[in-house]
């Protein structure tokens, strides 16, 4: 057995689960799976949004009407439509409707400003834009006017909130609810998409250049939604908490896709607010969610949080960033439930490595880091060196992933596709290693490594130590230029409510636990650490932050 044989981890997980059988052979896409859900559970809840519940039949009918309305306006098979929305029911309605019309969803971060939205509109060549009225007023109107968009459809987060909700559009653009009402009862006559057709252009964050549209196929989505379903054991009796943004790959797959495939209702709250989320979990009996670790840190510190209110939330996964061991322990002590690691990227359509549900991931004795898991179904994970050769067990290198979840490439970017999608698999840019039991450990992003006087420092190791301080709520570590050392370690922290500390204390705390070259030379205490919309700590925004 070689070090990177994908069967190595089966000592940790039953061998009969190594191959995923997504669904019946007649089900080839998420749309097919949802059709089965509608046939079997038409009157059961599909979406809970504040005081409104949409059934599976409602969602099917509304998305049918939206598809018809698009086609009536000239939307053709293969056309692209941008969804520039928060976590509202209209996102799911529009996504399904675009697919039923034969189109491709372009997911847009609602935090984008003019330049960022314009980049993905121009790159995708989208002709339709669906957005909230507020986002249209502040950002999207000017972008649509100067690009390829010929149809702008607006809606409001106030719709679907309660029984009195209805059209609220007062502008000249098309209103989504009015469009749907005009086509209500009609069904699109377009052929359903094929598994290899592109379903979503999911744009990368663009940290190393302009954003790239990952071409996520319908087959990618079905496979990954079924990984969540079967790896964790999700079925129609579960309730999914929609805490990740729906534009993000985690929301697209681990919330919307999983709900459509299983029939488990999805709970949405417009935007993530820790107290609103706690109330929604308690009200609807949410059993499963997946999100960034910053979300669970927020829940840990929310005024509304209690063991009783989060009692139903027994299936918890966190991805997007490593989980500090101290946070795992604190969450379990507070609420009685363990957070399981899951690892994936936009290009892996979310899950690629995950901790089997109910299993406690081991810690690496050398670094103290917690394993991110083992390869999911039908997935091979390798660790390679700078020369592309496999590295021995325990040695850190770049993680490379191959499996059915890997996207088809980047939209209109053949060179970037060739560079990332090699014969061996997707080159992730993440550094990690595998231990002798087949568990994988994530060290850090290759580009985030700090070189201090020739010594290599991984920010995550320093962050994990800072998280052990009782006053630290969040921590982010970056390398900054230093005339003497080349680079030096700088830390940023936010504090738990009601607790205090200072830079000197935190530096001393780190020096007691780390080699001298790893300890931060300066620390800045912030009210909040900047984050991406998906909850990842935004290190790149901190590198130029001045220290007083």
pLDDT, one tens digit per residue, over 363-415 is 888 877 889 999 999 899 999 998 999 999 999 899 999 999 999 999 999 99
CATH code of 449-541, in short, is 3.30.300.30
Please, which pLDDT band fits residue 5 given cuts at 50, 70 and 90?
very low
Q: Nearest 5 degrees, angle CA 67-CA 69-CA 70?
A: 65
- Residue 428 CA to residue 420 CA, distance in Å, equals 8
> In whole angstroms, what is the distance from residue 446 CA to residue 525 CA?
26
Q: Which are the contacts of 296, defined by CB distance < 8 A and separation ≥ 6?
A: 316, 318, 327, 331, 339
Q: Which pLDDT band, with edges at 50, 70 and 90, does 293 fall under? A: confident
SS3 359: coil
Strand partners, 478: 490
Least confidently predicted of 136-145, 283-292, 456-465: 456-465
Nearest to 475 by CA among 460, 493, 500, 448: 493
- Answer yes or no: is pLDDT of 3 > 80: no
CA 475 to chain centre: 20
Residue 112: is its pLDDT beyond 90? no
Which of the two residues, 284 and 368, has the higher pLDDT score? 284
Could you give the percent of the chain with pLDDT greater than 70? 87
Strands (DSSP E) along 483-532, which ranges?
A: 486-495, 522-525
**108 CB neighbour count, 10 Å cutoff:** 27
Backbone angles phi, psi at 17, to 5 degrees: -105, 10
Confidence class of residue 239 from pLDDT cuts 50, 70 and 90?
very high
List CB contacts of 129: < 8 A, sequence separation 6 or more. Answer: 81, 82, 84, 121, 140, 143, 144, 149, 151, 152, 153
When pLDDT is cut at 50, 70 and 90, the band that residue 191 belongs to is: confident
As to burial, measured by CB atoms within 10 angstroms (0-12 exposed, 13-18 middle, 19+ buried), residue 15 is exposed
pLDDT for 10 equals: 36
Check: CATH 3.40.50.720 for 30-193? no
Torsion sign across C-alpha atoms 406, 408, 410, 414 = positive
Instruction: Give the separation between CA 45 and CA 48, rounded to whole angstroms.
Output: 7
SS (H, E, C) 165-230: CCCCCCCCCEEHHHHHHHHCCCCCCCCCCCCCCEEEEEECCCCCCCCCEEEEEHHHHHHHHHHHHH
515 to each of 30, 444, 478, 492, 504, how far by Cα in Å? 50, 18, 17, 19, 17
Residue 166's pLDDT is: 59
d(CA 11, CA 18): 11
Residue 365: per-residue pLDDT: 86
- Predicted confidence at residue 116, as pLDDT, reads 84
DSSP string, 361-396: PPBPTTT-PBP-BEE-TT-EEEEE-TTSPBPPTT--
Say how many C-beta atoms besides its own lie within 10 A of residue 49's C-beta: 25
- Interval 255-281 mean pLDDT: 97
Can you give the pLDDT at residue 217? 97
State yes or no: pLDDT of 14 exceeds 60: no
Query: Is 90 exceeded by the pLDDT of residue 253?
Result: yes
Q: Where in the chain is the domain with CATH 3.30.300.30?
A: 449-541
Name which residue leads in pLDDT, 455 or 203. 203
Is it the case that residue 281 has pLDDT exceeding 90?
Answer: yes
Least confident of 31-40, 72-81, 451-460: 451-460
pLDDT band at 255 (very low <50, low <70, confident <90, very high): very high
Residue 163 has pLDDT above 90, yes or no: no
Could you tell me which residue, 181 or 431, shows the higher pLDDT?
A: 181
> pLDDT tier at 173 (50, 70, 90 boundaries)?
confident
Q: Where along the chain do the CATH 3.40.50.980 domains lie?
A: 30-193
**Distance between CA 68 and CA 232 in Å, rounded?**
36
> Per residue in 477-487, is it b (16+ CB within 10 Å) or e — as a string?
bbbbeeeebeb
Instruction: Categorize the per-residue pLDDT at 512 as very low, low, confident or very high, splitting at 50, 70 and 90.
Output: confident
User: To the nearest whole number, what is the mean pLDDT of the chain?
Assistant: 88
Asked whether the predicted pLDDT for residue 164 surpasses 90, the reply is: no
Could you tell me whether strands 522-525 and 486-495 are parallel, antiparallel, or unpaired per DSSP bridges?
A: parallel
What pLDDT score was predicted for residue 19? Answer: 59
Q: Provide the whole-model pTM.
A: 0.82
Out of 47-51, 88-92, 429-433, least confident range: 429-433
Cα–Cα distance between 284 and 49 in angstroms, integer?
A: 10
**What value does the mean pLDDT take over residues 286-297?**
92
């Amino acid at each position: 057995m070689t070090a990177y044989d994908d069967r190595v981890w089966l000592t940790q997980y039953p061998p009969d689960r190594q191959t995923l059988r997504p669904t019946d052979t007649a089900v080839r896409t998420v749309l097919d799976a949802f059709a089965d859900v509608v046939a079997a559970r038409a009157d059961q809840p599909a979406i809970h949004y504040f005081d409104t519940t949409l059934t599976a039949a409602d969602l099917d009918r509304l998305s049918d009407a939206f598809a018809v309305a698009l086609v009536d306006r000239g939307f053709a098979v293969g056309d692209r439509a941008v969804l520039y929305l928060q976590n509202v029911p209209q996102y799911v309605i529009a996504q399904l409707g675009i697919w039923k019309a034969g189109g491709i969803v372009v997911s847009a971060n609602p935090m984008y400003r003019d330049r960022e939205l314009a980049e993905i509109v121009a790159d995708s060549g989208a002709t339709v834009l669906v957005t909230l009225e507020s986002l249209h007023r502040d950002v999207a109107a000017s972008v649509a006017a100067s690009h390829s968009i010929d149809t702008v459809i607006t809606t409001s987060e106030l719709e679907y909130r309660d029984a009195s909700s209805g059209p609220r559009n007062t502008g000249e653009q098309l209103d989504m609810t009015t469009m749907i009402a005009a086509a209500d009862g009609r069904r699109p006559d377009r052929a359903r998409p094929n598994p290899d057709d592109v379903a979503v252009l999911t744009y990368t964050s663009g940290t190393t250049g302009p954003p790239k549209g990952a071409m996520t196929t319908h087959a990618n989505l079905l496979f990954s939604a079924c990984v969540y379903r079967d790896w964790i054991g999700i079925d129609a009796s579960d309730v999914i908490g929609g805490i990740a943004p729906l534009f993000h790959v985690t929301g697209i797959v681990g919330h919307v896709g999983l709900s459509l495939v299983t029939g488990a209702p999805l709970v949405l709250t417009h935007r993530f607010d820790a107290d609103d989320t706690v109330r929604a979990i308690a009200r609807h009996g949410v059993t499963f969610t997946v999100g960034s670790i910053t979300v669970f840190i927020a829940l840990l510190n929310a005024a509304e949080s209690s063991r009783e209110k989060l009692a139903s939330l027994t299936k918890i996964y966190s991805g997007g960033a490593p989980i500090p061991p101290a946070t795992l322990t604190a969450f379990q002590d507070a609420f009685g439930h363990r957070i399981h690691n899951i690892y994936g990227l936009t290009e892996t359509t979310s899950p690629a490595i995950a901790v089997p549900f109910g299993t406690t991931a081991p810690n690496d004795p050398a670094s103290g880091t917690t394993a991110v898991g083992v390869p999911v179904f039908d997935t091979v994970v390798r660790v390679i060196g700078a020369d592309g050769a496999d590295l021995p067990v325990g040695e850190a290198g770049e993680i490379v992933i191959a499996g059915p979840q890997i996207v088809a490439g980047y939209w209109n970017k053949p060179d970037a596709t060739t560079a990332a999608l090699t014969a061996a698999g997707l080159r992730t840019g993440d550094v990690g290693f595998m231990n002798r039991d087949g568990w994988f450990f994530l060290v850090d992003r290759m580009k985030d490594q700090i070189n201090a006087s020739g010594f290599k420092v991984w920010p995550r190791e320093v962050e994990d130590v800072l998280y052990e301080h009782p006053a630290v709520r969040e921590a982010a570590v970056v390398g900054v230029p230093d005339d003497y050392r080349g680079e030096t370690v700088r830390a940023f922290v936010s504090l738990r409510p009601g607790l205090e500390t200072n830079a000197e204390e935190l530096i001393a705390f780190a020096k007691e636990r780390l080699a001298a070259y790893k300890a931060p030379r300066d620390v800045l205490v912030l009210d909040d650490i900047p984050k991406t919309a998906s909850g990842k700590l935004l290190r790149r925004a901190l590198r130029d932050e001045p220290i007083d």
